[in-house]
Amino acid sequence: MAPNVDDYNREITYLRVSVIDRCNLRCIYCQPVKNLKLLHHADILTYEEILRVVEAATQMGISKVRVTGGEPLIRRNLLNFLFRLCRMPGLNEVSITTNGVLLKQKAKAIFDAGVRRLNVSLDTLNPLKYAKITGRPCFEDVWGGLEAAEAIGFSPIKLNVVAMRGVNDNEFRRFAELSVRKPYHVRFIEYMPVGLDSQWKPEKYISSDEIKCKLESFGALHKIPRSPCDGPAERYRFESARGEIGFISALSHHFCPSCNRLRLLSDGKLRPCLFSDEEVDIKTALRSGCSQEDIKALFHEAISRKPERHHAEMLQKGAELLHPMSAIGG
């Protein structure tokens, strides 16, 4: 069996790398209101360490990396790291997930470093509501960042919209219209009960089926056939739209059978499943003089510990994960 195939015959080709646990926003659904424990600087993997892990990962069959956070754009010297990552042999896709607050000023340099694919998190198109959700009045910055990214030539630009009843469910039409007007892939993400002190409540959750039903009352949605490199999103398009609509249904249609990913956290833990605290420590090995073969062995261990399916139902019933989503990186 290939080294990146797990016990359930899933080929692991995708690594999410959280480069920092800090964020410049305080989204209500992402970070705990109190008791937010942040890592000491010395406990965060250095870029050299991350690049060593990614290099070993590519030799194990990883071909796609997404850089995330916390907020990746607030980490110093990110551009040099991205430049090196984009030139790593074996990687054929590097993308970045950002809240977009600093995008306007950094988009050109990120593009020049070699990144082409961008995910921007934006849960509302209303500046006042944006400030309420995120704790910061930065809507215009994010919008300016999106327009700059579009003008520079990023493609695709995906908008991550966490759907929350009573928060942004009255804006689905505006997001639908946005996907027609702009070349953005608007992706509705089911609100997940992830994190320490998670604010998740069943009454705030909206399933993808319900969102899709609402969108279909605005116009016919045409399904886009899946391609082998597609992630978990189900993709659709409105008639004559420049962009797309996607649904990421972690809770209602769990996509575990096709899960192809591992997560590397900024504290040097490899996480086999978003919804479980099971982790493999790589940092201790890295800082004790391990070889690339040792890193590959740890990587293999993380792959072999991937559960057949997630158990988010435990979290829906009130169990908590050790880390907030802001540290895991989505």
Binding site for ligand SAM (CB under 6 A): 23, 29-30, 68-69, 71, 97-99, 121, 160, 162, 189, 191-192, 194, 325-326, 329-330
Query: What are the angstrom distances between the C-alpha of 203 and each of 105, 122, 133, 164, 251?
Result: 38, 21, 17, 9, 14
Q: Which two tokens stand for residue 231?
A: 């992630």
Which single residue brings its beta carbon nearest to ligand SAM? 330
Q: How far is the CB of 126 from ligand SAM (least distance, A)?
A: 16
Q: Between 205 and 286, whose beta carbon lies closer to ligand SAM? A: 205
What is the spatial distance between Cα 315 and Cα 104, in angstroms, rounded to a whole number? 36
Q: How far is the CB of 325 from ligand SAM (least distance, A)?
A: 4
Q: How far is the CB of 74 from ligand SAM (least distance, A)?
A: 9
- What is the distance between the terminal CA atoms of the chain, rounded to a whole angstrom? 29
Q: How far is the CB of 71 from ligand SAM (least distance, A)?
A: 4
Q: Between 232 and 329, whose beta carbon lies closer to ligand SAM? A: 329
Q: Between 270 and 328, whose beta carbon lies closer to ligand SAM? A: 328
Q: Between 132 and 222, whose beta carbon lies closer to ligand SAM? A: 132
Query: What are the angstrom distances between the C-alpha of 53 and each of 19, 229, 286, 290?
Result: 12, 22, 9, 11
Q: Between 10 and 323, whose beta carbon lies closer to ligand SAM? A: 323
Where do runs of H (alpha helix) occur along the chain?
Answer: 47-59, 78-86, 103-113, 127-134, 139-152, 172-181, 208-216, 283-286, 292-304, 312-316, 325-328
Residue owning tokens 């960042």? 145
Q: How far is the CB of 1 from ligand SAM (least distance, A)?
A: 32
Q: How far is the CB of 122 from ligand SAM (least distance, A)?
A: 9
SS3 174: helix
Q: Between 95 and 121, whose beta carbon lies closer to ligand SAM? A: 121
Q: Which residues pair with 15 in a beta bridge?
A: 65, 262
